[in-house]
Amino acid sequence: MRALLHIPESVFQENKLGVQHVMELFKAEHWKELNEIVVSRDHFGAPASKFGEEYWDLSSYVDTKITNKKGIFFSEIASEYLSMEMKLICFYWMYVAGKPRTGPVIKTTTLISRHSKLNQVFKFLDSYAFKSVETLSHPLVFSEFCSYIQNQQYSIGNCEHIFIIVANLRRATGVLPFAFLSPTDQTPKELAKEYAAKDKIKRDQFYAIPTRLMELIYGKALSIVEALHPHRDLIHSLLTDLHDNYLLGKKEVDEKIDSGQWQWLKKGDPAYRIEVSKFKPSKDFEIIESYIQETPLATLAPTNGSKFKGWITNVQTACYVVCAAFTGMRRSELYGLTADSFKTRIFNNQKYYFLQSQHHKMMQGRPQTCEWLTVPIALKAIELAEALSRNMRSQLLIDGDPIRVHISDCLWLNQCRKATFPKVRFEGSLRTHFNQIAKAAGAYITETDLDEFKLINPNCNPQHADEKIQLGKLWPLTSHQCRRSFAVFAKRHDLCSSVAIKQQFKHLDVPTSDWYGEGGLDSKLSYFQLDVELKGFLRDVQHEMVTEKIHDWLNSKDELYGKMGRSIMKERKTTAQIFSSWDHVYGLVKSGKLNLVGTLHSYCLAGYDCQMQKVSSPAACFTCENQLIDKEKAKNWFQRHKWAKEKLLYLDSVGELTASGYSHFVTQIKAAEKVMHHFKIPFSKLKMDGTKYEQI
């Protein structure tokens, strides 16, 4: 059987037959044959895991650059039959029913995540000595299970995911050889709200960083990148020499072991590393000193070998922070950055900077190549990170192992021990060095920071926040905080719209982007104070401007258009005496009897009583009795006519013009032509073959 990230129909049918065979073996209790079924393979097609094994190796089906979870365990379940049931469910999810509502495809990372929740269900069954998951169908057993979950003191999100897994089991009834019928009508969300820990009912949104702390941390990361970027090639040469020095020592020791001269030592012994260190031609500190003496690095880099290694990781972390801070990328997307990720584009004579990476979220099969808008300093961060990882990437590239070759373009590698291959850094390593950067920046929390934290993080769980965010403590930086802070800062300072954040963050909808920007608008409004006197002054100015417009229309001979415009032109002689007084018109405006709102194409004398639902299609306003168009607004109709013509002809040229699209643009074009004809504005009529479209 073959497990692919995207399953062609032929493979799906093949897998379906294989799953039916597995189900039959389970029903017949042919355990020996069932245990020999291959459930996963390596990159070369050889079996990696079999059904009966306690660990299923799925490393060939996940991107090892973005996750360190490469398989699933079944060793926590003592009951052999329960363990077999759990394996069968995971096997079913893996090959057939990943998402019953949307199709059979399931990401391996989703399977691994589901397994961790399914494990909670089977640990309950195992601890109470129940024989099968079918017993969970009994109301008393299900009630006991809910109490078990409640005793675990899980958060509402964790609880909901567990109950969603239970719902998935119910949907699998009829396919699996055992059945589960839910004894409750409550939804997973309702069950989670009832049985989650009382202090964890409120979901804890990732934190946005208060401004002062953000400036300190980001500023420190930027200063590290700026200071070391000019010396990146020197650092690379130094790291290469340190590794070559180790290889020479290793070669000496290996020759003594292989020749039989040293029979007392084996390559896996703890003393092996000590002997290699003794036989290195030079000490690490000697190599470091030879490179950095009489250079600016002499005051920046430590000469001690182990401290220098930690310093390099710290510099790499600073590069990571810069890329995260100025793009808002997810961690998985940051791990897709490569040496040539920095791109530039020129639009309308304006130069823009991008980071190119892989987008994995909600993507089936291969990730999608995307770009994130950024700032020029990101280029220095990428180039510095590339130099720091160049030697490690070379080691992985020449090894030949498919997994190592795959991660050989990743910039965020670490090699704790030179005897082992470099590995991708993960959140634990990052957080340690996040703290070091924050400490070096002096990012300790003050009262002002706490006040701002509460303002820009309205959706945080107060209990959790009080534990993590404390006065005088170091700010606990994480990767995702950079993403939240990006959205909040953009909202707070009107740098971009929610739609732009959606595009930058690769969200599926705008509400998700608004959720990420929660707190930004509140913090913006907090800086505004109500000035009653100024507000009154602005209102008076607005009344005067509206009065000036209406008085001019009523008492001049200027051409007007629209139903209201024509009405005013007809009534000018009869209303001249009544409305000739500016003060009289001002009184009507101030009392609200006359009102005026300008749109992009006309004036509306209904004021804000009109909901402006037709503004996006200006031609629709022609039926409104409150529309008025003067000479100034007529110029906008000329521009609208030009735009609608160009859009219509373009859609027609690429074969994407539909009847409804034709109708939408032609109505606007004809309306604009009426306006321009009335005001004697020269224009060229639309010329195109409209026989294949519905005529207006």
Specify the pLDDT at position 143. 92
- Is 434 found in the same domain as 451? no
Same domain, 514 and 594: no
Residue 425 to residue 339: CA distance in whole angstroms: 17
Which pLDDT does position 374 carry in this prediction? Answer: 95
Residue 316 sits in the same domain as residue 422:
yes
- Domains contained in the chain, number: 4
Q: Which residue is listed with tokens 């079944």?
A: 74
Residue 4, pLDDT score: 42
Could you give phi then psi for residue 626, rounded to 5 degrees? -100, 5
Span 459-463, average pLDDT = 83
What whole-number distance in Å separates Cα of residue 7 and Cα of residue 95? 9
Which pLDDT band, with edges at 50, 70 and 90, does 404 fall under?
confident
Question: Which of the pair, 353 or 556, is modelled with greater confidence?
Answer: 353
Q: Which of 210-214, 557-561, 638-642, 661-665 has the highest mean pLDDT?
A: 210-214
Exposure string over 166-184, b if 16+ CB within 10 A, otherwise e? bebbeebeeebebebebee
pLDDT at site 329 = 94
**Same domain, residue pair 452 and 339:** no
Arithmetic mean of pLDDT, 202-216:
90
pLDDT at position 3: 45
Q: Are residues 253 and 367 in the same domain?
A: yes
- Mean pLDDT value of segment 88-101: 72
Same domain? For 195 and 321 the reply is: no
CA dihedral 496, 367, 399, 338 (to 10 degrees): -20
497 has pLDDT over 50:
yes
pLDDT digits (tens, 9 = 90+) for 610-652: 655 555 567 778 778 888 899 888 888 998 898 888 888 888 8
The string of pLDDT tens digits covering residues 25-83 is 888 888 999 999 888 888 888 888 899 999 999 888 888 777 778 889 998 999 999 99
Q: Order of strands, edge to edge, in the sheet holding 597-598? A: 597-598, 603-604, 627-628
Q: What pTM was estimated for this model as a whole?
A: 0.71
Residues 40 and 72 in one domain: yes
Matching residue, tokens 């905080």:
481
The domain boundary residue, chosen from 400, 417, 439: 439
pLDDT at residue 459 greater than cutoff 80: yes
Label the pairing between strands 413-414 and 423-424.
antiparallel
* Residue 446 confidence (pLDDT): 95
**Is 93 part of any domain?**
yes
Identify whether 315 is part of a domain: yes
Q: Which residues of 76-107 are buried (b: 16+ CB within 10 A; e: fewer)?
A: ebebeebbbbbbbbbbbbbbbbbeeeeeeebb
Q: What is the predicted pLDDT for the residue at 5? A: 44
Specify the long-range contacts of residues 340-345, CB closer than 8 Å, at least 24 apart: 341/382, 342/374, 342/378, 342/379, 342/382, 342/383, 343/371
pLDDT at 209: 95
Structural domain for 310, as ranges: 212-439
Q: What is the percent of the chain where pLDDT is above 90?
A: 36
The answer to whether residue 200 scores a pLDDT higher than 90 is no
* Residue where a domain stops, chosen among 166, 200, 234: 200
Cβ-contact 22, 90 below 8 angstroms: no
Collect all residues with Cβ–Cβ distance below 8 Å to 604 and sequence separation of at least 6: 596, 597, 598, 610, 612, 621, 624, 626, 627, 628
pLDDT score of 105 more than 70: no
**Do 319 and 422 fall within a single domain?**
yes
pLDDT of 577 reads: 62
Question: Which of 557-571, 598-612, 619-633 has the least mean pLDDT?
Answer: 598-612
> In sequence order, what DSSP letters do the residues of 127-163 get, joined into one string?
HTT-S-GGGGGSHHHHHHHHHHHHHTT--HHHHHHHH
Same structural domain for residues 520 and 546? Answer: no
Across 244-265, average pLDDT = 89
**Closest to 316 measured CA to CA, from 393, 251, 264:** 393
Mean pLDDT of 248-268: 88
Both 433 and 471 in one domain: the answer is no
Contacts of the segment 58-62: beta carbons below 8 A, 24+ positions apart? 58/108, 58/111, 58/112, 59/403, 60/403, 61/3, 61/5, 61/108, 62/108, 62/109, 62/112
pLDDT at 429: 83
Q: DSSP string of 529-583?
A: ---HHHHHHHHHHHHHHHHHHHHHHHHS----BSHHHHHHHHHHHHHHHHH--HH
Instruction: Look at residue 97 in the predicted model and tell me its pLDDT.
Output: 58
Closest residue by Cα to residue 517 from 539, 500, 537: 500
The pLDDT mean for the chain works out to 85
My answer on whether 408 and 459 are in the same domain is no
End position of a domain, from candidates 157, 180, 200: 200
pLDDT computed for residue 531 by the predictor: 60
Please compute Rg for the chain using Cα positions.
34
Name the pLDDT band for 343 (thresholds 50, 70, 90).
very high
Whether 281 is in a domain gets the answer yes
Tell me what the mean pLDDT of segment 200-229 comes to: 92
106-129 pLDDT, tens per residue? Answer: 778 888 888 999 999 999 999 999
Residue 205 lies in a domain: no
| 104 within some domain | yes
Give the residue-averaged pLDDT of 589-616.
72
Specify if 317 maps to a domain: yes
CB 352 within 8 A of CB 375: no
Asked if residue 4 belongs to a domain, the reply is no
* pLDDT higher than 70, residue 165: yes
Share of the chain above pLDDT 70, in %: 91
Q: Specify whether 655 is located in the same domain as 508.
A: no
Average pLDDT over residues 255-261: 87
Q: Is residue 695 part of a domain?
A: no
How many other β-carbons are positioned within 10 Å of the β-carbon of residue 215? 13
Residues 6 or more apart in contact with residue 678 via CB below 8 angstroms? 559, 561, 634
pLDDT value of position 12: 56
Residues whose CB falls within 8 Å of the CB of residue 89, separated by 6 or more in sequence, listed in order: 118, 133, 169, 172, 176
